[in-house]
Chains A and B, each alone.
Chain A
């Protein structure tokens, strides 16, 4: 029989990644209050499912659960603001890297740009750029093929580049 999980083992394996869990939940829910509830729920679920954890990357495993809980949490809620797809289709992929770099230091602007991404792109961006997960780990966490991870990442980065360089990109939103 599998050992019942001990809270000590769970804490040293999984709960050490609480920051990562909160960061993802915070970006996905865009609210501190919701993120805290999501993380609490995810940790309880992780604890109950701990005997199924195969001993790989505990952070990726916990983030998978956080993402699933956030997804349920966000269901039925409208995105605060949807981006205008046409804006990005119109934009050439020729973005001046220097212009992006110039805005990179403006944390407020960068934060707004990330929040403006649709959730599926935002999750990939957070998991890759902030958590440095591999494509394989992201694919597992989001339950999508690696090809989808790659195309979402490409679209997410392209949009961020446009949002950071086009002065009108945000203002024109409905």
Chain B
């Protein structure tokens, strides 16, 4: 790595957003290069300046009272409280039109788009859910420039859901909520973010754990562990439940499904079938993590 490669990487380095390999390379470069070391230190200095609690504006007490009053009134199905009607009237109206006359203001939809929309529709009707799933998968596939149809997957909707979630996770920024190769970091993260405790295991060195995230499958939030094998990613979906085991292949992706200790596991990857099977066996035979220390 040289100074030209470093560029914005010092920011990602300071923010702990670099993958381990790049971080190591940068470490080595920083030991030898005072110029880049200075950039790094000035980024840290700016962080120190801005994150000073003196710069943080706390909500005034009267705002808290106002907001509580407004949302409690709404919750009691009281009259609609028009706040800032002039500034937002037209936008609100446009959005209402989109919301099929339900009057929903779908804030944040463009950003948290896929999953909340799915889960909401899903709660209503399986048929609608299926349509949305197909549409969502189609969108993702278009985004990837792949071409496949969901025909033939009706026999196992979980496979379709797992595949959709896997493809979604491959989009930039969707793979991981917690980035860590350490099970003692990943596990507590899940404990504070989900209502069950997924087994988090470190496997053989050629199947390193790289992180975890929350996803939404089968009408519920599920835990996902992300492992790597060479350049291939493996998503391991885990949720409570108990329903058999199987192996499936779908459009170049392989799936292994098993249950143990009352948990359902689905591993999906573009890894070759035998390798994914080995992963599954490694995971199942890995000792439960020892307690910390």
A and B: real partners? yes
Measured CB to CB, the residues of A under 8 A from B are 1-2, 4-7, 10-11, 15, 18-19, 21-23, 26-27, 32, 35-37, 39-49, 51-56, 61, 64-65, 68-69, 72-73, 93-98, 100-101, 103-105, 107, 110-111, 114, 125, 128-130, 134-136, 139-141, 143, 145-146, 150-151, 153-154, 157, 160-161, 164
B70 touches A48 (CB 8 A): no
Question: At the interface with chain A, which of B106-114, B157-165, B252-260, B268-276?
Answer: B106-114
How far apart sit A49 and B105, CA to CA, in the bound complex (Å)? 6
B74 & A129 in contact (Cβ 8 Å cutoff): no
Contact among A35, A37, A143 for B84, CB-based, below 8 A = A37
B165-202 CB contact bits vs A (8 Å, 1 = yes)? 00000001110110000000000000001000000000
In whole angstroms, how far apart are the Cα atoms of A146 and B64 in the complex? 33
Q: Considering residues B63, B117, B221, which has the most beta carbons from chain A within 10 angstroms of its beta carbon?
A: B63
Nearest CB of A to B214, in Å: 6
A63, closest chain B residue (CB): B108
The listed residue with most B CB atoms (<10 A of its CB), out of A100, A103, A125, A164, is A100
Contact partner of B107 (CB less than 8 A), chosen from A26, A56, A65, A104, is A65
Evaluate contact between B112 and A61: CB separation under 8 angstroms: yes
**Closest residue of B by beta carbon distance from A126:** B50
CA distance A73 to B87 in the complex (A): 7
- Determine the distance from Cα of A97 to Cα of B145 in the docked complex, in whole angstroms: 45
Q: How far is the CA of A134 from the CA of B177 in the complex (A)?
A: 9
Q: Pick the residue among A27, A44, A143, A161 that contacts B74 (CB under 8 A).
A: A44
Contact at B38–A157, with CB atoms within 8 Å? no
> Is chain A's interface secondary structure helix, strand, loop, or mixed overall?
helix
B91 lies within 8 A of chain A by Cβ:
yes
B59 in the interface (beta carbon within 8 A): yes
Residues of B within 8 A of A96 (CB): 38, 42
- In-complex Cβ contact of A104 among B45, B112, B176 (8 A): B45
Task: Compute how far the CA of A153 lies from the CA of B74 in the bound complex, rounded to whole angstroms.
Answer: 38
Q: How far is the CB of A57 from chain B (nearest CB, A)?
A: 8
**Does A53 lie within 8 Å of B116, measured CB to CB?**
yes
CB–CB B172/A135 < 8 A:
no
A40 to B52, CA, bound (A): 26
Residues of A near B221 (CB, < 8 A) are: 54-55
How far is it, in angstroms, between the C-alpha of A35 and the C-alpha of B52 when the chains are bound? 20
Chain B interface mostly:
helix
Q: Tell me the smallest distance from the CB of A161 to a CB of chain B, in Å.
A: 5
Pairs across A and B, CB under 8 Å, 19 listed:
A2-B124, A37-B84, A40-B70, A40-B83, A44-B81, A47-B75, A48-B74, A49-B105, A53-B116, A61-B108, A98-B45, A107-B55, A110-B55, A125-B50, A135-B17, A136-B176, A160-B49, A161-B42, A164-B49
Residues of chain A with a CB closer than 8 A to B84's CB: 37, 40-41, 73
Residues of B within 8 A of A107 (CB): 52, 54-55
Q: Which residue of B lies closest to A157 (CB)?
A: B46
| Contact residue among B41, B44, B108 (Cβ-Cβ distance under 8 Å from A68) | B108
Instruction: Convert B30-67 into 0s and 1s, putting 1 for each residue whose CB lies closer than 8 angstroms to a CB of A.
Output: 00000100110111111111111011111110111011
The answer for the CA separation of A17 and B157 in the assembled complex, in Å, is 37
| Assembly CA distance A4 to B44 (angstroms) | 45
Closest to A65 in B: B107
State how many angstroms separate the Cβ of B28 from the closest Cβ of chain A.
20
Is the pair B71, A47 in contact by a Cβ cutoff of 8 Å?
yes
